Amino acid sequence: MGKYSYLLHLQCPKCQKTYSAETEQHLCKCGSPLLAKYDLELLKSELERDELKNRPENLWRYHELLPVKEKSNVVSMGEGYSPLLKTPSLGRKIGVDELYIKDEGLVPTGSFKARGAAVGVSKAKELGIKQLAMPTNGNAGAAWSLYAARAGMESYILMPVDAPVVTRKETAISGAHLYLVNGLISDAGKIVASLVQEHGFYDASTLKEPYRIEGKKTMGYEIAEQFNWEVPDVILYPTGGGVGIIGIYKALKELQELGWIKEEKLPRLVAVQAENCAPIVKAWEEGKSESEFWENSTTIAFGINVPKAIGDFLVLEAMYKTDGCGVTVSEEEIQKAQKLTAEHEGLFICPEGAAVVSAAKDLKEKGWIKDGEKVVCLNTGQGIKYADSIEVDVPVLEPGSKLTI
């Protein structure tokens, strides 16, 4: 019997300094986020890839590659192993022959944020944390507050007033201490920082605790496993804080090191952002290794309204190292792609997911995606959560009317 987790320690990707994973850790002294390192050498000799086959269909099937050391600390609602759907009708419409959507709308709390919350809250529980605090654009707050409730932990959540109302309600009903901020997630972040300093709460801000990314990386494992360990050519990801894309890149590299995926070449990773909030795409276009704060950002794809991401350099590294790229999408294109996806595939995807579908169309038209390439679009959440942003014009009939069509 192998160990439940092969976690070794945390390491800074900037200055390489290592930190113990037995105690609470946040950023490196140099200001960089920390990444979890596993004993892949040992795991390779103790676990066969095919042993996964008989495990439950949730992200804990990869528990050896997750940071929770005792199974009893796992806080789960069955998250993960979301369907990877073939979408041929939409594919034909946008010119991409081999198009897939990985549908994270089916994950608990209605977005893929539950992956990060499940692993982050479980690890926080293992570390003895009782109270956590975080800024959020909505979905992360909903996920973390609900998982915290399940773990018996208190949460302090700060979100912008104009974050989707459903996420506000999800957070509130969890019993969290919820505050709205008249501003952006970056403004909420500053208030959280002072709260953390004053009260010693666990800072669960994006990449300021090292385990959310470990939950999100499981999307990468799943994509590989669902394709029977033959990775696709392109993966497109709606990029806000960028944790998901950094996580997928980390996961694929771990799989390479384990020898579980054969390909030398990793999928090209595409960061998709909204035209009015595209700091990372801009940095990529300019060949830079870090982004600059994006002033007056706005988009209906609220989850990707992040003017400056603390892990931007890691996102850019993932893009450069995989020969990926950055794409921006207009608000109008997002709404069009959302409708198109529902009409062609019956999938009511979120605006962030729709941004990615639109980007795939764009990249195919430009020839960046080639004929016959396997393309995966991440739909990061449920369209239902953003119902208010969909305008519909429906005829209303009086009782007894005769309907002529």
Ligand X SMILES: *Cc1c(COP(=O)(O)O)cnc(C)c1O
Q: Looking at beta carbons only, is 345 or 373 nearer to ligand X?
A: 345
CB 58 within 8 A of CB 76: yes
CB 274 within 8 A of CB 305: yes
HSE-up of residue 284 (Cα within 13 Å, Cβ side) = 26
304 binding ligand X? (CB under 6 A): yes
352 binding ligand X? (CB under 6 A): yes
Among 80, 220, 238, 383, which residue interacts with ligand X (rule: CB under 6 A)? Answer: 238
Residue 44 burial by Cβ neighbours in a 10 Å radius (0-12, 13-18, 19+): middle
Q: 352: closest CA among 105, 89, 98?
A: 105
The amino acid that residue 241 corresponds to is: G
303 binding ligand X? (CB under 6 A): yes
Structure tokens at 116: 């990060």
State whether residue 306 is helix, strand or coil.
coil
Count of residues near ligand X by CB under 6 A: 17
139 binding ligand X? (CB under 6 A): yes
37 binding Zn ion? (CB under 5 A): no
The listed partner (Zn ion, ligand X, none) that binds 28, CB under 5 to 8 Å by sort, is Zn ion
Binding range to ligand X, per CB under 6 A, among 44-52, 119-127, 234-242, 326-334: 234-242
272 binding ligand X? (CB under 6 A): no
Q: 121: closest CA among 149, 100, 93, 157?
A: 149
28 binding Zn ion? (CB under 5 A): yes
Binding range to Zn ion, per CB under 5 A, among 6-14, 150-158, 239-247, 393-401: 6-14
Between CA 351 and CA 356 the distance in angstroms is 9
73: number of Cβ within 10 Å? 16
The listed partner (Zn ion, ligand X, none) that binds 239, CB under 5 to 8 Å by sort, is ligand X
Binding range to ligand X, per CB under 6 A, among 21-29, 55-63, 117-125, 233-241: 233-241
State whether residue 190 is helix, strand or coil.
helix
Residues that bind ligand X (CB under 6 A): 111, 113, 139-140, 238-244, 303-304, 350, 352, 380-381
Residues lying near Zn ion in the complex (CB under 5 A) = 12, 14-15, 17, 28, 30, 32
